[in-house]
């Protein structure tokens, strides 16, 4: 019997794969047997030393249409939309530029990457998997990150809409909502004794998550084991939202 969690023979595109959660997803998909295209605007050199069968692709998602031609040039079975940015400022002082920059990368690029991928999958009458990276701020408000919160609420809604349109056409669309994960993006929080304690006190699991926790969940949603899962936003948060 074939292992339903294996991805042998599949080709995956992971955006923002140079570090942190994106890198862990690329490594996990590679370890599950997929060939992984690691895409982003930064060097993928470190990631490629960890991914068993990986290649790099330079894409800058500050251009929301950056991936418009990717899927006509090469066969891709799985897309993980992980690339994202954040800007912090009081809402009274937040600029239009910071709003637009975040929305372009975190939401607009996600939609048009999904669209380009779906067009290619439907044209070949094949199957496809999309895993979008949402956030705890797809459900909560946060503070001082208005465009990030809006974009991640948008990712959750977009995931459900695309699942409604494409589930019957052979494309699974789901999302992961990472909790507090120990990466370079959260170094400052973990180094602040008060903030670190407050966060840990809220997490039922009692610890920060590891990037590999998100990688494992991404493998699941990209695998045949998730064939009947459509439009889900899976929290990987140590129980944060259940508290």
**Of residues 61, 71, 117, 148, which has the active-site annotation?**
148
Closest CA relative to residue 151, chosen from 108, 189, 118: 108
- What are 118's two structure tokens? 């779906």
Q: What does the DSSP assignment read for 82-126?
A: ---------TTT--HHHHHHHHIIIIIHHHHHHHHHHHHHHHTT-
| Whole-number Å distance between alpha carbons of 38 and 34 | 12
Q: Is 228 among the residues known to form the active site?
A: no
- The CA–CA distances, whole Å, from 175 to 6, 56, 157, 229, 231 equal 19, 23, 10, 10, 7
Q: What is the DSSP string of 117-139?
A: HHHHHHHTT--EEEEEE--GGGT
Q: Closest by alpha carbon to 29, among 238, 214, 234, 231?
A: 214
List residues with catalytic annotation.
Answer: 148
């Amino acid at each position: 019997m074939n292992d339903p969690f294996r991805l042998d023979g599949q080709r995956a595109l992971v955006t923002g794969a140079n570090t942190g959660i994106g890198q862990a997803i690329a490594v996990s998909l590679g370890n599950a047997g997929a060939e992984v295209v690691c895409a982003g605007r930064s060097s993928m050199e470190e990631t490629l030393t960890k991914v068993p069968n990986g290649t790099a692709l330079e894409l800058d998602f500050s251009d929301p249409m950056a991936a418009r031609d990717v899927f006509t040039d090469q066969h891709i079975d799985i897309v993980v939309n992980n690339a994202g940015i954040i800007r912090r400022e009081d809402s009274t002082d937040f600029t239009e530029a910071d709003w637009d920059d975040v929305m372009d990368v975190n939401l607009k690029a996600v939609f048009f990457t999904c669209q380009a991928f779906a067009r290619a999958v439907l044209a070949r009458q094949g199957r496809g998997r999309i895993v979008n990276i949402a956030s705890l701020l797809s459900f909560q408000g946060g503070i001082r990150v208005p465009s990030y919160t809006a974009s991640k609420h948008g990712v959750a809604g977009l995931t459900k809409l695309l699942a409604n349109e494409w589930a019957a056409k052979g494309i699974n669309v789901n999302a992961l909502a990472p909790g507090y994960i120990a990466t370079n993006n959260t170094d400052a929080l973990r180094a602040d004794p008060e903030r670190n304690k407050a966060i840990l006190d809220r997490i039922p699991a009692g610890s920060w998550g590891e990037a590999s926790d998100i990688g494992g969940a991404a493998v699941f949603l990209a695998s045949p084991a998730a064939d009947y899962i459509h439009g889900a936003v899976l929290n990987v948060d140590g129980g944060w939202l259940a508290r």
